[in-house]
Copies of this chain bind each other. A is one copy, B any other.
Amino acid sequence: MRRVAIIGAGITKFGEHWEKGFRELVVEAGIKAVEDAKISGENITAGYVGTMASGKLIGQEHVGALIADYMGLNPIPITRVEGACASGSLALRQGVMAVASGMHDIVVVGGVEKMTDLGTGGVSDALGGAGDQEWELFLGATFPGLYALMAKRHMHEFGTTEEMMASVAVKNHKHGSKNPYAQFQKEITMDNVLNSKMVADPLKVFDCSPITDGAAALVLAPLEIAESYTKKPVEIAASGQASDTIALDNREKLSEISATKIAAEKAYARAGITAKDIDVAEVHDCFTIAEIMAIEDLGFFKKGEGGKASLEGKTTFGGDVVVNTSGGLKSCGHPVGATGIKQAVEITWQLRGNAGERQVKDAEIGLSHNVGGSGATAVVHVYKKG
């Protein structure tokens, strides 16, 4: 199989876009990526897009064709893939496969979600589709509720505290304050988080990622020809994906996401690295406890020590590994289908060395980690400076 590189990256501002629709957002991100790659649309021969719940959120399925149309790319095939909040990374993975296989050379991959057209009740209902509708959501569970169960178990097993979780939010807002594309570009304090309104004990409003509109896109090419497009290609060195039970109550453990562990093992093996080699990582912090589990399950810290590591500043600039320089889902925002691609865009900028005020010095190897639902899907990509 051929090696695959990112040659273009683009993103919209994440936030509440009252004057732009789904199609305007995805076209904006797509055009930025195509311009960044210095290619013409005629060079593109296929595309993949990640969107979780466009059916419920905006009444629109069939978004691959919609995007081919509005990007001016007809008749090339664009295909939607969906894996709840991991939809973006799944689109990236299919794009990597299309190039690696030799079936396509230049492939565009994107992610998009338009979430603010419904009220929060409608959005919660749509997001509930990421879990087990028959055995969780219909019975009254919500996503904050499911992650609260995991948080409680993590606290019970490892002594993780509300302060440790809050430190994740504070750190991610600090990072996000340097990101012009982030939904919330301002810092918050531990007190802000700890005194914010309770959503599902122990998770408070500031432990939760927001509802967001946004889109992100990448242009992929075989590594062997990437340098003819850019002086700074970023190689996608590995892609790992794994599944777990859709419902939490069928899991062996509530204090870990086992699909993350398996996807990471596959990705590390394929890339020939270990967790210690990662300089910069975008991980799935849909709730603060999710980032703590992620940095453990990815092998950055021992199981049970993620909370302490976060509180001690080991996941920010100057620490062991810089996590969520974009601000993460918490501060940059979480337009569900776009998140996985946004993570890859951020890592691309970091490895190119043009992440501005939030640049991780000498970053050579990056990782993105995207979770669907409460962990039934996890996708890990490893990136190397080209």
Contacts and interface: CB of A to CB of B under 8 A. Distances in A.
B62 A377 contact: yes
Interface in A72-93: 73-84, 90, 93
B59 A133 contact: yes
Interface string A59-71: 1111111101100
Interface of A: 1, 21, 23, 52-56, 58-66, 68-69, 73-84, 90, 93-94, 97-98, 100-103, 125-126, 128-134, 137-138, 241-247, 250, 258-259, 262, 372-373, 376-377
Q: What is the interface of chain A mostly: helix, strand, loop, or mixed?
A: mixed
A65 B102 contact: no
Contacts of A130: 61-62
A369 to B, nearest CB: 15
Contacts of A242: 75-77
Nearest to A94: B94
A74 B244 CA distance: 6
A328 to B, nearest CB: 21
Residue from A63, A128, A377 having most chain B Cβ neighbours under 10 A: A377
A65 B243 contact: yes
Contact of A101 (B82, B97, B134): B97
Nearest to A80: B82
Contacts of A53: 55, 61
B83 A65 contact: yes
Contacts of A55: 53, 55-56, 126, 129
B376 A62 contact: yes
A84 B59 contact: no
A49 to B, nearest CB: 10
Given A97-B98, A101-B1, A103-B1, A62 B84 contact: yes
Contacts of A376: 62, 65-66, 68-69
A105 to B, nearest CB: 14
Given A1-B101, A64-B377, A82-B82, 18 more contacts: A1-B103, A55-B56, A58-B133, A59-B137, A60-B129, A60-B133, A62-B129, A62-B246, A62-B377, A69-B243, A69-B244, A69-B246, A69-B376, A74-B244, A74-B245, A77-B377, A97-B97, A97-B101
